[in-house]
Amino acid sequence: MLLAVEVNNSTIALGVHDGESWRARWRLQTVVGRTGDEYAFLIGKMLRELRLGAEPRRAVLASVVPALTEVFGDVVERLSRSRPLVLGPGVKTGLDLRVDHPSEVGADLVAGAVAAHAMARGACVVVGFGAATTFTAVSAQGALVGVAIAPGLGTGAEALAERTAGLPRASLLPPSSVLGKNTVHAMQAGVVLGHVGLVRHLVGRIGDELGTGAVGVATGELAPLLAPLIPEIVVSDPWLTLDGLRLISDRNPR
Active site (catalytic) residues: 108
Q: How many CB atoms sit inside 10 A of residue 178's CB? A: 15
Tell whether 177 is in a known binding site. Answer: no
Strands 2-7, 58-63: pairing is parallel
Residue 208 vs residues 125, 197, 203, 214: alpha-carbon distances, Å: 11, 17, 9, 8
Tell whether 7 is in a known binding site. Answer: yes
* Closest listed residue to residue 14, CA positions, set 254, 91, 1, 131: 1
Q: What is the DSSP letter of 228?
A: G
Tell whether 11 is in a known binding site. Answer: yes
Tell whether 14 is in a known binding site. Answer: no
Tell whether 6 is in a known binding site. Answer: yes
Tell whether 182 is in a known binding site. Answer: no
Tell whether 118 is in a known binding site. Answer: no
Tell whether 108 is in a known binding site. Answer: yes
Tell whether 142 is in a known binding site. Answer: no
**Residue 191 to residue 120: CA distance in whole angstroms:** 30
**Residue 23 to residue 95: CA distance in whole angstroms:** 27
Tell whether 12 is in a known binding site. Answer: yes
**Residue 207 to residue 189: CA distance in whole angstroms:** 26
| 63, 72 Cβ separation under 8 angstroms | yes
Tell whether 10 is in a known binding site. Answer: yes
CA dihedral 50, 51, 54, 58 (to 10 degrees): 10
Binding residues for substrate: 106-109, 183
Binding residues for ATP: 6-13
Binding residues: 6-13, 106-109, 183
